[in-house]
Amino acid sequence: MAASKPNGTPAASDNVPATAQRGEGGELHQQAGGSHPPLTTNQGIPVSDNQNSLRQGPRGPTLLEDFVLREKITHFDHERIPERIVHARGSGAHGYFELTHSLERYTRAKVLTETGKRTEVFARFSTVAGGAGSVDTPRDVRGFAVKFYTPEGNWDLVGNNIPVFFIQDAMKFPDLVHAVKMEPDRAFPQAASAHDTFWDFISLMPESMHMIMWAMSDRTLPRSLRTMEGFGVHSFRLLDEDGNSTFVKFHWRPKQGLQSTIWDEALKLQSADNDFHRRDLFEAISRGDFPEWELAVQLFTEEEAEQFPFDHLDPTKIVPESLVPLQVIGRMVLDRWPDNFFAETEQVAFCPANVPPGIDFSNDPLLQGRLFSYLDTQLSRLGGPNFHQIPINAPRCPFANNQRDGHMQMQVPKGRVAYEPSSLQDDSPRGTPRGFTSHATADDGRKGRTRAASFADHYSQARMFFRSLEAPEQAHLASALVFELSKVETAKVRERTVSQLRNIDDTLAQRVADGLGMTALPEPAPAAMPAQDLPPAPEVRVIGRGLETLAGRSIGILFDEGSDAALLGALKQAVQKAGAAVTLVAPKVGGARLSDGSHQQADGQLAGTPSEVFDAVAIVLSAEAGKALAKEAAAIDFASHAWAHLKALAHDEGGKVLLQAANVGNDEGIVEATQPAAFVKAASTRQWSREPSLRLLA
């Protein structure tokens, strides 16, 4: 370990540039020196601290006075016109939220107190790193944003499919995104984090280590948008009628349970269908299989939060469910596809500052910056200050104020009064006691660019996450790190990242080092606080949290000339009865003539409908067709890839010939097509025991 200064802050080492110092929260303070010019604002004013926004005390709110933050965020928000800088690739749908359990004890927000009422919503799901023209299925965090059109104004619950984030302070968001985006001198890689600038940044940011565990896990390879969780990320406040505050964290839990792909499968999905997630959402809604999520909350007081072994205002931390259990309070159902993708999905504008009375903000420094950034970015992306009048953004309840004119004004305000107070017009809008009020938080700290010492533990929850995973998930995570870092050309960046991993788990660091061919482990990175061994958090896993059911899933059945008509019909009927969609695949899109002389149309052509797009497959072939397709590359891939991706396969005698040609083995996931019930059972889950015999993992 590196030596420590008297105050406990690690001294400079090979892992931290000599021009950097760490504050008591473990953050880096860059110092101008050597050949580095001083960092300045666009007005040439030298910046003393580019790591922390200006706050009223270490855990206090961010101040509007912070011109460095505002200039930096403003410039970042306007770097792309008109595409979103992040979350550009998205899909959305309309639906409703229904409250089932009132939170009247904690809040006066009607959307959270009036049970049984349905509130219209629009949800948008997105990747983060890629542009609008990128694909749906890369390893990436997914945005999970919901706009509630409540009777008290719009509420935007804007989060991700992961409950933590890379950074603790909004000041660092432009740096994070610049690092993960295409490298500016070469404009690649697109929609990928496996490159030098991202890992250079991450290896110098210990606070990112928890998020890296999530990002390298199966969580960032969702099987569909319908089978991923959503999180509000930050702590918010609920305020009751008397202004009393309770902290709240919001969770979306998919009705179908969690499902992810595996890495090789995700790669092949990119070539099979660039729009896989968008198409899946569209088709599910079209067939009436409406995606549904439960909304759950974690509620805790200020006094309870003070007893946590971490700071809940730190957005790189979760509140484990063992400390604060989830309470399900309602459900969201998406039942209508947008009428026009551009007008709705592209023009929808979210902002975490949009909350109804009874919901308030915490002093989370990342949230505080987002309250400014989201509104600011819409001004250029959607043309001006009247973007809220676009139908998808307009509240469904009446709204009135004295704002006038501006670019793209679409209303015709009447009357002579556009100010307040006034006495010339009886119907001019006024403030109301029922309006939004902020919690009277007592902040007695001195303003400054500081970070709370309680934010300094960067490794304990990262360790908890990794050690809570099932063995296959740990192997996937380690292998993902090896893959990503193998794309990094700069040796010191690879070594510095492994040195960070040593603070999380030495076995993980060793697995990654072995995968990279390192002859020795580097020294652990300097740590502001050593990692604690926290209790496991089973809720972070994906394996074991999916529902063993075919409901809402997709099954492919390969057939050809002479396929057994009765067997094909029985399989299709059993799968559909179990709630799955069936796609019939044949070598020709025109289909084939079955054993009973009937002609069966195909839903998909073999070369263009690979097994990657299904949750499980069945192969029903005549003996002649089995022999013929055993010489067809697309058919061999159909079978071998399903086997490699741990999916169930049903087969008859002709299908068995194809399986043998594809070197498909035998386990509980390989069943006779004459046993539809056995296939339904096997298809409801992946065959994880198969994986060690198929691929080398770190």
Please report whether residue 561 resides in a domain. yes
Q: Which burial class, exposed, middle or buried, applies to 371 when counting CB atoms under 10 A from its CB (0-12, 13-18, 19+)?
A: middle
CA separation for the pair 237, 239 (Å, rounded): 6
Amino acid in position 31: Q
Express each pLDDT in 202-261 by its tens digit. 999 999 999 999 999 999 999 999 999 999 999 999 999 999 999 999 999 999 999 999
The mean pLDDT of 492-514, rounded to a whole number, is 98
Please report whether residue 420 resides in a domain. no
The mean pLDDT of 110-114, rounded to a whole number, is 97
Q: Which of 160, 363, 386, 503 is catalytic?
A: 160
Which of these three, 389, 406, 423, is where a domain ends? 389
Residue 232 lies in domain: 75-389
Please report whether residue 316 resides in a domain. yes
Please state, in angstroms and as integers, the Cα–Cα distance from residue 397 to each residue in 115, 116, 156, 157, following that order. Answer: 19, 19, 15, 18
Amino acid in position 162: I
Interhelix angle for 263-272 vs 471-486, to 10°?
A: 60
Which of these three, 374, 389, 404, is where a domain ends? 389
Higher per-residue pLDDT: 74 or 688: 688
pLDDT band at 132 (very low <50, low <70, confident <90, very high): very high
Higher per-residue pLDDT: 139 or 36: 139
CATH number of residue 248's parent domain:
2.40.180.10
At residue 77, the pLDDT reads 83
Express each pLDDT in 294-323 by its tens digit. 999 999 999 999 999 999 999 999 999 999
Is the model's pLDDT at 9 over the cut of 60?
Answer: no
At residue 24, the pLDDT reads 54
At residue 33, the pLDDT reads 52
Asked about 354 being catalytic, the answer comes back as: no
Is the model's pLDDT at 372 over the cut of 60?
Answer: yes
CA separation for the pair 447, 450 (Å, rounded): 8
Q: What is the DSSP string of 295-310?
A: EEEEEE-HHHHTTSSS
Q: Which two tokens stand for residue 397?
A: 């309840």
Amino acid in position 572: K
Average pLDDT of every residue of the chain: 92
CA separation for the pair 180, 190 (Å, rounded): 9
pLDDT band at 174 (very low <50, low <70, confident <90, very high): very high
Q: Is the N-terminal amide bond of 325 cis, ω within 30° of 0? A: no
Closest CA to 167 of 75, 79, 67, 234: 234
Q: Is the N-terminal amide bond of 82 cis, ω within 30° of 0? A: yes
The mean pLDDT of 598-623, rounded to a whole number, is 97
Buried b (16+ CB within 10 A) or exposed e, 675-687: ebebbbbbbbbbb
At residue 363, the pLDDT reads 95
Higher per-residue pLDDT: 38 or 412: 412
Is the model's pLDDT at 46 over the cut of 90?
Answer: no
Q: Residue written as tokens 């390879």?
A: 221
At residue 433, the pLDDT reads 83
At residue 575, the pLDDT reads 97
At residue 28, the pLDDT reads 54
Please report whether residue 487 resides in a domain. no
CA dihedral (122, 125, 129, 132) in degrees, to 10, reads -70
Please report whether residue 541 resides in a domain. no
Which of these three, 364, 389, 414, is where a domain ends? 389
Q: Which two tokens stand for residue 458?
A: 């960067």
At residue 32, the pLDDT reads 46
Express each pLDDT in 378-397 by its tens digit. 888 898 888 899 999 999 98
Is the model's pLDDT at 176 over the cut of 90?
Answer: yes
Q: Which two tokens stand for residue 622?
A: 């005549």
How would you write 410-443 as a 3-class SS string? CCCCCCCCCCCCCCCCCCCCCCCCCCCCCCCCCC
Count of the separate structural domains present in the chain: 2
Please report whether residue 596 resides in a domain. yes
Q: Which two tokens stand for residue 33?
A: 């020196």
Q: What distance, in Å, lies between the first and last C-alpha atoms of the chain?
A: 26
Q: Quick one: what percent of the chain has pLDDT higher than 70?
A: 95
Rg for the chain, CA atoms, rounded = 27
Please report whether residue 15 resides in a domain. no
CA separation for the pair 12, 434 (Å, rounded): 54
At residue 74, the pLDDT reads 81
The mean pLDDT of 140-160, rounded to a whole number, is 96
Length of the chain as a residue count = 698
In the DSSP assignment, the letter for residue 454 is: G
Q: Which two tokens stand for residue 584?
A: 């019939």
Q: What is the DSSP string of 632-681?
A: -HHHHHHHHHHHHTT--EEE-HHHHHHHHHTT---STTEEETT-HHHHHH
At residue 23, the pLDDT reads 59
Which alpha helices (H) appear in 435-546, and where do they start and end?
460-468, 471-486, 491-501, 506-516
At residue 16, the pLDDT reads 47
Q: Which of 15, 87, 234, 503 is catalytic?
A: 87
CATH number of residue 627's parent domain:
3.40.50.880
Asked about 87 being catalytic, the answer comes back as: yes
pLDDT band at 34 (very low <50, low <70, confident <90, very high): low
CA separation for the pair 447, 210 (Å, rounded): 28
Reduced to 3 states, what is the DSSP secondary structure of residue 193? Answer: coil
Please report whether residue 58 resides in a domain. no
